[in-house]
Structure 1
Amino acid sequence: KQALKDKAKGKNKGQQVFVIDFDGDIKASAVKHLREEISTLISTANEGDEVVVRLESPGGLVHGYGLAAAQLARLKDAGLKLTVCVDKVAASGGYMMACVADNIVAAPFAVIGSIGVVSQLPNFHKWLKNHDVDYEMFTAGDYKRTVTVFGENDAKDRAKYQAELEQTHELFKHFVNRYRSVLDLDKVATGEHWYGEDALHLNLVDKLQTSDSYLLELMANNEV
């Protein structure tokens, strides 16, 4: 009993470590809870304490994951150390969040990267035309709509839409470079993804380890 008390006493001498989970869907719906958790942490944690985010996400909508990444940045702005642990996947918007961290810890076969932008949609124009169905769309502004699901898309529509995707990709790369300047963006911002060991060689992550192992290490000398 005395040994356990001494061990517990030793833990209290270390820093506090807070653990939160983010399980991301295509809309980054979990950001609703994430922002509340982060506000609570900022108001209660001490400067220098560590926050470990166990992150799992294949990515999704740009604005949703942009907000989620900005929420994580609040932790660093408040003087807290941020570690992101990835056991399975942090790709696209998921990696946008992860790259904010001071340290990224990934399991050996976690899927990492996918710094790119994708958009796809069906087009029913030919089917409607073959069935004598007219489709009309009215807009104000040259580019209120570009490509469309039901109308006929021309080269100008496609070029504008592609330009918008390229612009989003450039913003993504700029964001990643801001928080993880060690990356060679020419190599990693191709939309490809890598498994943990290769991601480590490319500096996409800092360490290969499961979140369980990392947290157990912290528990030895800190209050988790």
Structure 2
Amino acid sequence: MELLSEYGLFLAKIATVVVAIAVIAVLIVNLTQRKRQRGELKITRLSEQYKEMQEEMSASLLDDHQQKQWYKAQKKKLKQEAKEAKAKAKAGKNGDTGKSRVYVLDFKGSMDAGEVSGLREEITAVLTVAKPQDQVVLRLESPGGVVHGYGLAASQLQRLRDRHIPLTIAVDKVAASGGYMMACVADKIVAAPFAIIGSIGVVAQVPNFNRFLKGKEIDIELHTAGQFKRTLTLLGENTEEGRQKFRESLNETHDLFKEFVHQMRPALDIESVATGEHWYGSQALEKGLIDQIGTSDELLLSLYENHEVIGVRYQQRKKMMERFTGSATESIDHLLMRWWQRGQKPLM
């Protein structure tokens, strides 16, 4: 009995130590996650990348003797630049190139426009440092999605417009429906020749399983307070009155969409383009939906000579489960994109 008692006491001590270690580990993990919860801004000096690319290409085209001379001159140049940077730092002018800045953001939108959480952080960061002579370029790719999500994304871009910071949106692939709602906020829209533009319309579809359930002798009861709390349902029996109200809501949303686009681009013949159709870049230019044909690469290369081009990206740290579910969501979005490209229309 004494042996068993001592053994039990030993196990209790071990269990206490294990629990204590586990509690400490959980606290450390929670504290770490809290610190990382907000995410972080990643700044990329694109001007320097373009400059390095240009220099590497120039050097590679020289013969061996010329390359040696070039590298020697380059070494001398870098030494001089470091000396000048040190002098500027002492004078309190560290990082000041004297050039206006172009802040480059990216928005690759999903159906729920969840990327707006990062966009709002990026725009807030830019607004804290932007000067009147600076500007923003947003590389946009989105087929649209839920109304409230893209409405918020457009409102975030409106913050730049309200502060009189020039905004250019570059579309290489697609800015349709809710994506175009974002694009039209810009002072200038640049799109590639075959980029998909427009689709100023609203669509919704709801499957109904009521007949199937009736065949299986399954009753569905739906109780609401308010005549139109539910217009169409998945399981209950839909009424013509509910369908009519649902169509009215769609038309009201479409009218708000048209009004917003017309407000942003008053010269646009809104009735001729708000049919839900989409056009390619060259066609969109003729209709006034965009301002210039070109790719985002051409646009940034044209700016980097006279401006300091800086990439700004907000990266949210994700837990392992969020990474997994995020990958699954992204796969679904890619599938929806393929369906859309085969003729389906986005939600908005």
Report the 3-state secondary structure (helix = DSSP H, G, I; strand = E; otherwise coil) of the residue aligned with 2:107: strand
Q: Is contact 1:12-1:222 (8 Å) kept?
A: no
Q: How far does the alpha carbon of each residue in 1:83-114 deviate from its partner, in whole angstroms, 9 at most, with x for none?
A: 00000000000000000000000000000000
- Of all paired residues, the percent bearing the same amino acid is 56
Please, which of 222, 227, 233 is the counterpart of residue 142 of structure 1? 227
CA distance in 2, matches of 1:121, 1:160: 14
What is aligned with 2:303?
Answer: 218
What is aligned with 1:77?
Answer: 162
Count of residue correspondences = 221
CA distance in 1, matches of 2:198, 2:123: 24
Letter in 1 for 2:128: S
What is aligned with 2:205?
Answer: 120
Match runs of 1:8-157 below 5 Å:
12-157=97-242
Q: Is contact 2:206-2:232 (8 Å) kept?
A: no
What is aligned with 2:267?
Answer: 182
CA distance in 2, matches of 1:39, 1:211: 23
Letter in 1 for 2:253: T
**TM superposition shift of 1:32:** 0.3
Query: Which 5+ residue runs of structure 2 have no aligned equivalent?
Result: 1-73, 82-95, 310-348
CA distance in 1, matches of 2:129, 2:268: 33
Q: Is contact 2:170-2:190 (8 Å) kept?
A: yes
* TM-score calculated relative to the size of structure 2: 0.61
**TM superposition shift of 1:48:** 3.0
Which structure shows the higher helix fraction? 2
Larger radius of gyration: 2
**TM superposition shift of 1:14:** 3.5
When the two chains are superposed, the root-mean-square deviation of aligned CA atoms in Å is 1.8
Letter in 1 for 2:284: A
Report the 3-state secondary structure (helix = DSSP H, G, I; strand = E; otherwise coil) of the residue aligned with 2:104: strand
What is aligned with 1:170?
Answer: 255
Q: How far does the alpha carbon of each residue in 1:166-214 deviate from its partner, in whole angstroms, 9 at most, with x for none?
A: 0000000111011111111111000000000000000100000000010
**TM superposition shift of 1:13:** 4.1
CA distance in 2, matches of 1:86, 1:48: 23
Letter in 2 for 1:52: V
Q: How far does the alpha carbon of each residue in 1:62-95 deviate from its partner, in whole angstroms, 9 at most, with x for none?
A: 0000000000000111121000000000000000
Extract structure 1 runs of 4+ deviating beyond 2 A. 1-6, 11-14
CA distance in 1, matches of 2:99, 2:287: 33
